[in-house]
Amino acid sequence: MQKRAFITGVSGQDGSYLAELLLSKGYEVHGLLRRSSSPQHSTWRLEGILQDRFKLRYGDVTDSPSLLRHLEEVQPDEVYHLAAQSDVGVSFRVAEHTANVTGLGTLRMLEALRAVCPGAKFYQASSSEMFGVSSPPQNENTPFHPRSPYACAKAYAHHTTVNYREAYGMFTTSGILFNHESPRRGENFVTRKITRAVAAIQAGLQEYLYLGNLDARRDWGFAGDYAEAMWMMLQSSEPEDFVIGTGEAHSVRDFCELAFTEAGLDWQNYVRHDPAHDRPSDVDYLVADPSKAQQKLGWKPQMSFGELVAEMVRSDRERLRRFLENESHKK
Ligand code: NAP
Ligand code: F7E
pLDDT mean by block of 10 residues, the chain; 331 residues: 96 98 97 92 90 94 98 98 98 98 98 98 98 97 98 98 98 98 98 98 98 98 98 98 98 98 98 98 98 98 98 98 91 74
Superfamily name with CATH number, domain 190-218+250-288+306-330: UDP-galactose 4-epimerase, domain 1 (3.90.25.10)
Measure 119 CA to ligand 2 centroid, in angstroms.
Answer: 36
Q: Are 251 and 216 in contact (CB under 8 A)?
A: yes
At 330 the pLDDT is 81
The question of whether 127 is a catalytic residue gets the answer: yes
Ligand nearest to the CA of 14: 1
Ligand nearest to the CA of 273: 2
Atom of ligand 1 nearest to the CA of 186: 2
Q: Are 251 and 285 in contact (CB under 8 A)?
A: no
At 329 the pLDDT is 84
Strand-pairing partners, residue 28, are: 4
At 25 the pLDDT is 97
At 101 the pLDDT is 98
Q: Which residues are near ligand 1 (CB < 6 Å)?
A: 8-9, 11-15, 32, 34, 36, 42, 60-62, 82-86, 101, 125, 127, 177, 179-180, 186
Beta-strand relationship, 28-33 and 4-8:
parallel
The CATH number for 4-181+220-244, chosen from 3.40.50.720, 1.10.486.10, 3.30.160.270, 3.30.43.10, is 3.40.50.720
> CA 213, CA 227: separation in Å to the nearest integer?
28
Catalytic residue among 17, 150, 226, 285: 150
Measure 319 CA to ligand 2 centroid, in angstroms.
Answer: 23
At 131 the pLDDT is 98
> CA 234, CA 240: separation in Å to the nearest integer?
9
Q: Which helix (H) or strand (E) holds 250?
A: strand 250-251
Residue of the CA atom closest to atom 38 of ligand 2: 211
Catalytic residue among 129, 181, 228, 262: 129
Quote the pTM value: 0.98
At 41 the pLDDT is 86
Ligand nearest to the CA of 180: 1
Pocket of ligand 2 contains residue 273 by CB under 6 Å: no
Q: Which amino acid is located at 331 in the chain?
A: K
Measure 330 CA to ligand 1 centroid, in angstroms.
Answer: 34
Q: Are 8 and 61 in contact (CB under 8 A)?
A: yes
At 331 the pLDDT is 74
At 328 the pLDDT is 86
Measure 202 CA to ligand 1 centroid, in angstroms.
Answer: 30
Pocket of ligand 2 contains residue 302 by CB under 6 Å: no
Residue of the CA atom closest to atom 10 of ligand 2: 88
DSSP states of 113-163:
HHHH-TTSEEEEEEEGGGGTTSPSSB-TTSPP---SHHHHHHHHHHHHHHH
With a CB cutoff of 8 Å and minimum separation 6, the contacts of 210 are 272, 273, 274, 276, 277
At 40 the pLDDT is 81
The question of whether 129 is a catalytic residue gets the answer: yes
Spell out the domain ranges in the chain: 4-181+220-244, 190-218+250-288+306-330
